[in-house]
Chains A and B, each alone.
Chain A
Amino acid sequence: MSEERSFEELQKELEDVVARLERGDVAVDDAIALFRRGEELYRACVERLQSAELRIEELTPSEPRGDGA
């Protein structure tokens, strides 16, 4: 599961997977694959929430360059 994908993309896919399974028009092999995918997505989402504490980074803007601003 790539780091590039945003949380909402992952959560959206999870919801789509659930909706497909709930419709029930999938073969059992596909259902198992979808289920695995769903569990994977769930874990990926929860992982994004796992972090001990608020991280704060201080940023100092670089001096404006002569870009006409």
Chain B
Amino acid sequence: MKIEPVLYGERKVYTVSAFNQGVSRYLGRLPAVWVEGEVTELRRNEAWATVFVVLKDPKTGATLKVTIARRAFDRLELGLEEGETVHVQGRAELYEARGELGLRATTIERIGLGEHLIALERLKRKLAAEGLFAAERKRRLPRLPRAVGVLTGADAAARGDLVATIGRRLPSAKVVVCETRVQGRGAPVAIVNALRALAGHAEVDVVVLARGGGSFEDLLPFSDEAVVRAVAASPVPVVSAVGHEQDTPLCDLAADVRAATPTAAGALVVPDERELRAALDESRRRLRLAVSGLVQRDAERLGRLADRLRNAPRLLLERRRVALDHTGARLQALSPRATLGRGYAIVRARGEALREAAMVAPGDSLEIELASGGLGARVEDVRP
């Protein structure tokens, strides 16, 4: 359709619609371009066929209206938010009803990611060069922490999984939970403070960073330099259970141990009570066995000594008896009775043994003792 002016004498006059239409056609001949800007406004409604975005040049503040078909926008699955920097591909377009210039977009790409990635890689190299991620810095986790510190966001699932695992393995455990802001502006400072508070707790012997999955941006605070340094400098060992398996926030590298999930972290920080008890009982069984073995060995030695001790008096007695018998025999040999046996006799007068004849006078009575029996006699004569 040709756009015709209305003629007022020499003057060609266009209607508003015609003007807009004409400019619009002219713009339509311009090539498709990429435009970079910050999203300052995003309006998407299920009832609308078009998504409206306002881009801003962060340097000058200049703005540009961008439209994109809702279906095309939804297919991109950007989860775009205001404040993000994007690249938009499209053509200049005039909204004819209002005469407003805009950009009709065919696609939108987020570019913040690339910058973040580069910055992250740079930070990673810097911290690695400082030795923050070195294997020899890694500490062993305590076998039985007095308390487990848990740093978590308002993320019920991660916290729940972790606490449930700890409770199942070690019912006597103590958990100190510090809930803090883990994403968005201010999260790094909050995380550093929470980590300090937990590590400073009198009973906390190990800290778990429990943060479930999230987008790359959501997990960025866990790659923040201050957070990574705080993890490395923590006075107690730190277990990092941040994001999913495929995510590697820098705090994972600085932590003493990395756990794929909060559940895995739970299994790392506390022992299984049944296993622990079994190990203790085994120690006690061996303790008792060892000591009873020793005692038995010594008891046997003692028993042999006791036997010898008990036998000693009997042996001594026997030896004595033999000696006594011997002495007895010798004594026997000296006895006067033994002399009488050889034919001697003992003669007594008035109870006194006679050694001289003059001790008696004729007529005195005498007692004569023989080896067997005795005699009464009278003196007939004395021969001094």
Contact = CB atoms under 8 A, between A and B. Distances in A.
- State whether these chains interact: yes
Interface string B172-209: 11111111100000000110111011100100010000
A62 B196 CA distance: 10
Given A42-B284, A46-B280, A54-B163, A69 B175 contact: no
B293 interface: yes
Interface residues of B, number: 48
Contact of B294 (A11, A21, A38, A63): A21
Contacts of A38: 283-284, 287, 291
B49 interface: no
B144 interface: yes
Contacts of A15: 283
A34 B290 CA distance: 11
B163 A56 contact: yes
Interface in B257-306: 273, 276-277, 279-280, 283-284, 286-288, 290-291, 293-295, 297-298
Nearest to B167: A54
Contacts of B201: 59
A31 B142 CA distance: 30
Q: Which of A11, A48, A54 has the most CB of B within 10 A?
A: A54
Contacts of B171: 51-54
A17 B290 CA distance: 10
A54 B173 contact: yes
A27 B180 CA distance: 59
Contact of B291 (A34, A46, A61, A64): A34
Contacts of A49: 170, 172, 273, 276-277
Given A42-B287, A60-B178, A31 B197 contact: no
B175 A24 contact: no
Interface size class of chain A, counting residues whose CB lies under 8 Å from the partner chain: 35 or more
A52 B190 CA distance: 33
Contact of B295 (A28, A50, A61): A28
Contacts of A35: 287-288, 291
A59 B277 CA distance: 30
A54 to B, nearest CB: 4
Interface string B243-264: 0000000000000000000000
Contact of B175 (A17, A50, A56, A61): A56
Interface of A: 6-8, 11, 14-15, 17-18, 21-22, 24, 26, 28, 31-32, 34-35, 38-39, 42, 45-46, 48-64, 69
